[in-house]
Chain A
Amino acid sequence: MNFSELLKLSGLLGRFSPDGRCLASCMQYRLAVRDASSLQVLHLYTCLDQIQYIEWSSDSLFILCAMYKRGIVQVWSLEQPGWHCKIDEGSAGLVASCWSPDGRHILNTTEFHLRITVWSLCTKSVLYIKYPKACQQGIAFTKDGRYMAVAERRDCKDFISIFVCSDWQLLRHFDTETQDLCGIEWAPNGCVLAVWDTCLEYKILLYSLDGRLLSTYQAYEWSLGIKSVAWSPSSQFLAIGSYDEKVRILNHVTWKKITEFEHPATVVNTKTIVYKEVEKSPSVETERLSFPPTRALASSLFSTQSKYAISEVPLSLHYVKPAADRPNPKVGIGMLAFSPDNCFLATKNDNIPNAVWIWDIQKLKLSVVLEQLCAIQCFQWDPRQPRLAVCTGNSNVYLWSPAGCVSVQVPVEGDFPIVSLSWHSSGDAMVLLSKDNLCVCYLEREEAVYPNSSV
């Protein structure tokens, strides 16, 4: 496992290109595109203002940089460094910007969700989509990039519009039986659209591509409802995480619940493996201490190493009692993700912030619990294999695979609190992001993850 030098970064904006060749990173108003392996700067673009959002086009030929404060989107081409494009939303303002799947259109959402403007890089044509809904996840593209679903709100009712992305023709437009639609998500096969209601009501609706309602699922009433939703890559399962600290899994044939994963604060099943992160201070031999100490030694002296230990079950996890009088309570399943091979589901219960649950989908049982010392900031599955990377806001990166679990300290000088990470498309590298820095971690393909050992 190799780590790059720390690179300066702002706004957590560091992305690998979809083809995996480049790494884009922003530093204030500058955009640097580097070679993913050598990290040599290939291009350096300068934007008009501090960049707040970047996104690679699907063909990795363009990068859009959004400056929401100024309502400007700038697009850069990798093929033609001299080519430039600037989209100004003017007084309408800008709150979100994204590429269309074909990589030739940019969808800008204006302030107050007045409209979505679809700008084309190929033609002069501009398309407006009116009444977009201001919600958690209002735009969803199918994985094949053919269709786009947009949540709309008209006359106090929720609607879904399905567009054909090739020519932005409206294919379907239908109202949904929701109180206050909160999010939409296509199944990976692009044929089923999951629509879930606001957290005040547990309700998830499944629509076919042609707008037919396939099924409705409601686990309970009155209490706070759905918090997160994830499709399995095979479109077979739909995992729904909710405020009652449970994940419910629906099947794709009858759309009925297969099972329910609870997240209690005590792990009781003895078949569950609990990896607990423990800290240990490195022992220093006093004879080898020199004055003044070398920088490396000093840093190693004041940093503590962490490693995983297998805990005895039953085990009580660190539980945070949510404040009942606050809105958006920190309770329930806030994050969940299927592994690319459909075999595992990783979840996080927000009121047990230090633990990641990994469920075996084949057995429909809890397989592993990772208990960290700090709160989980982010986790992501390796796109190629069942390998989970976790960061907890410190300078360690944690990897879990069915073979075992490792904790790796990023060997950098100074503080490097990793708050986000994202995998390279090949699964051979990942970019670790802190508030001010970026580090690329290269994993050799041969180097398997050592089970239960710290490196």
Chain B
Amino acid sequence: MGDWKTITVPVLSSDSKNIFEYTSDKSISSLSMNSQVLRLSLPSAKNMHGFFSAFCTEENIEQSVSYLDRELTTLGFPSIYAESKGKELNLVSVINCMNELLVLQHKNLRAQEEVEMQHLKLGSDMDHLQNCYAKLKEQLELSKREIVGLQERDRQLQNKNRNLHQLLKNEKDEVQKLQNIISSRATQYNHDMKRKEREYNKLKERLHQLVMNKKDKKIAMEVLNYVGRADGKRGAWRTDKTEARNEEEMYKVLLSDYEQRQKQLLVENAELKKVLQQMKKEIISLLPPQKQKLKERSEDGPVLSDLEEDIGELNKENMWELSCETVREQLTNSIRKQWRMLKNHVEKLDNQVSRVHSGALNEEDVISREDHEMETEKLELEIQQCKEMIKTQQQLLQQQLMCPCDDDTTVLLQDCYLLEERERLQEEWRLFREQRKNFEKERRSFTEAAIRLGLERKAFEEDRGAWLKQQFLSISTDYKHSENVTTPSAFLGSSDQDNRLPKSTSQQRKPHCMLGGPVSAEPYQISQYIARNSSSAALRKPAGDSKPNQWVESDKETE
């Protein structure tokens, strides 16, 4: 309502304050009312808005109406005056205007509410964002500081590194320098050595000349007599022949040495070949199934198998005697291949063994580690996928929530809430139904019990009827002459007995019944009535005849 005021105030700003107050009052409480109604409603309005002085009074009714008309026309409403009758109010248009104004106000109120809501939302959003902003700012500060710290550290490290590099370089230079020094010294040393050696050689030469050319008599061998050679031969003259012979002998020595070595190598080779052959044989004997498989598997199988056959033939032809060169490649190839097969085989066996081992260890009910790992991997993958899915869903949800509430989402949300509510209701319903079922069950059991009770009662009454009949019969035989008044007293309640009774009575009172054949119902009714009365009387009358008394007592006993 305050808003309404603020909206209308600028429109009315040109008028006096007094009027504006009235208009506001009017516009709020009684815009669409006609004068009579106005008059009636005004006091209440006045009561409600006591602080406003009345807009319209008896004196200024005309002016107020014209004012209202003017205002309304400026606002685009039709005139409230009847067009034809001049200053006469058109009640219909007044009411229409009022209605429209009310509708307008409603609409405005709603709009206002919405706007307020939005305002609130935006305010909270704003707060949130401001919070976020502050946090981020803090983070930024922190990271900036960190960056500065890291940069400082980096700079220090770089400095250190540079220093170390410098040191390393210096060291390297030093090493280089030292090496240079060493080498220069070495060359110098060698040079000096050579110089000295030359000098020394000169001196030696000189000495040699001096010592040897002096014809030193002392340099001599005194021997008693020359002895024979150890081998008994005489020393031979040195000639070209001997030289050639020496050469020959030297080569002979060398040759024999080489021959010996070759022999050794041959022996070694033969032994190795033997071992190889044996190995090959053993491998072949070990590997027939694998080889078949491999042959089948390998694309270049035919070529290899051909080769193998060749080798097999060679084997037969004692290829071991051949020089290695001719068959080396084939041999090495085949051996390599066989070795590979053997290796594969052994690896396979190893795997099997390990598997068996692990199986034995785990007693077979525990999955092998590989399987386990595979499984866990799979599961982990699944978990990750699920997590991703959840994340995307969350994101979507957040997006939906974040985007300024479009109607669909609100509807959706409301639907969601409704659904939830419905579910809850259904739950309650279910409970309720269950309870009802329980109740029904109980009721049924109750009814069943009631029926049973009824049946029992019926049986009891039958018994009583039978008993009464007997009693009645005995009484009737005793008091033949007495009135029928007492007899019906036995007929209490039960209709069956009532139906049967006439028969028995008719048999017994044949002469009576034959008379009243067509009006049989009347005496029966009468008799019944009497019986009832009498029974009641008999019941009320504790001490009548001894028999009824007896009967009452017996009745009491049966009950």
Contact = CB atoms under 8 A, between A and B. Distances in A.
A91 B235 contact: no
Nearest to A102: B230
Interface string A95-127: 000000011100000101111000111111110
A378 B476 CA distance: 165
A291 interface: no
Contacts of A208: 254
B198 A156 contact: yes
B266 to A, nearest CB: 14
A204 to B, nearest CB: 20
B230 A171 contact: no
A104 B221 contact: no
A125 B238 CA distance: 12
A148 to B, nearest CB: 12
Contacts, number: 116
B227 A104 contact: yes
B195 to A, nearest CB: 9
A191 B258 CA distance: 9
A209 B238 contact: no
A317 interface: no
A189 B257 contact: yes
A100 to B, nearest CB: 10
B219 A89 contact: yes
Interface string A259-296: 00000000000000000000000000000000000000
Q: In the complex, which of the residues B182, B198, B230, B243 has the most CB atoms of chain A within 10 Å of its own CB atom?
A: B230
A120 B236 CA distance: 13
A90 interface: yes
B247 interface: yes
B483 interface: no
B219 A88 contact: yes
Interface string A229-247: 0000000000000000000
A169 B246 contact: yes
Q: In the complex, which of the residues B211, B221, B251 has the most CB atoms of chain A within 10 Å of its own CB atom?
A: B221
Contacts of A169: 238, 242-243, 246
B247 A84 contact: no
A125 B225 contact: no
Contacts of A164: 246, 249-250
A21 B229 CA distance: 21
A90 B224 contact: no
A103 B231 CA distance: 10
Contacts of B211: 90-92, 110, 114
Contact of A167 (B225, B226, B242): B242
A222 interface: yes
A92 B236 contact: no
A201 to B, nearest CB: 10
Contacts of B227: 77, 83, 104, 121-122
Given A82-B224, A122-B227, A90 B246 contact: no
Given A87-B221, A92-B216, A167 B235 contact: yes
A417 B498 CA distance: 161
Contacts of B207: 112, 114
Interface in B207-237: 207-208, 211-212, 214, 216-231, 234-236
A266 B236 CA distance: 60
Given A114-B211, A121-B227, A209-B253, A167 B219 contact: no
Contacts of B253: 146, 190-191, 209
Contacts of B198: 156
A85 B224 contact: yes
Nearest to B197: A156
B194 interface: yes
B204 interface: yes
B60 to A, nearest CB: 126
Interface string A61-83: 00000000000000001000011
Nearest to B221: A87
B96 to A, nearest CB: 117
Contacts of A121: 223, 226-227
Interface residues of B, number: 43
A90 B219 contact: yes
B204 A114 contact: yes
A112 B193 CA distance: 17
A89 B212 CA distance: 10
Contacts of A210: 250-251, 254
Nearest to B234: A122
Interface in A205-234: 208-210, 222
Contacts of B208: 114-115
A450 B250 CA distance: 47
A146 B245 CA distance: 13
B246 A167 contact: yes
Interface string A339-359: 000000000000000000000
A59 interface: yes
Contact of A86 (B182, B193, B221, B250): B221
Contacts of A126: 221
Interface in B516-554: none
Contacts of B222: 84-88
B238 A122 contact: no
Contacts of B214: 91
Contacts of A85: 221-224
A405 B363 CA distance: 56
A88 to B, nearest CB: 5
A167 B216 contact: no
A147 B242 CA distance: 15
A265 to B, nearest CB: 29
A125 B246 contact: no
Nearest to B258: A191
Contacts of B197: 153, 156
A153 B198 CA distance: 11
Given A112-B204, A156-B197, A209 B254 contact: yes
B215 to A, nearest CB: 10
Nearest to B233: A166
Q: In the complex, which of the residues B208, B227, B249 has the most CB atoms of chain A within 10 Å of its own CB atom?
A: B227
B238 A123 contact: no
A209 B226 contact: no
B250 A103 contact: no
Contact of A84 (B216, B224, B228, B249): B224
Contacts of A191: 253-254, 257
Contacts of A59: 230
Contacts of B247: 171
Nearest to A106: B221
A77 B230 CA distance: 13
A113 B236 CA distance: 29
A115 B223 CA distance: 22
Contacts of B194: 156
B224 A167 contact: no
A180 B186 CA distance: 13
Contact of B182 (A89, A112, A222): A222
Interface string B246-268: 11011101100100000000000
B328 to A, nearest CB: 19
30 contacts: A83-B224, A85-B223, A86-B221, A89-B218, A89-B219, A90-B216, A90-B219, A102-B229, A102-B231, A104-B227, A104-B229, A110-B211, A112-B204, A113-B204, A120-B226, A125-B235, A126-B221, A155-B201, A156-B194, A156-B197, A164-B246, A164-B250, A167-B236, A167-B246, A169-B246, A171-B246, A171-B250, A179-B190, A191-B253, A191-B257
Interface of B: 182, 190, 193-194, 197-198, 201, 204, 207-208, 211-212, 214, 216-231, 234-236, 238, 242-243, 246-247, 249-251, 253-254, 257
Interface of A: 58-59, 77, 82-92, 102-104, 110, 112-115, 119-126, 146-147, 153, 155-156, 164, 167-169, 171, 179-180, 189-191, 208-210, 222
Question: 5 smallest A-B Cβ distances: which pairs?
Answer: A90-B218, A90-B219, A191-B257, A85-B223, A90-B216
Given A122-B226, A155-B201, 8 more contacts: A88-B220, A89-B219, A91-B219, A102-B230, A103-B230, A123-B235, A156-B194, A209-B254
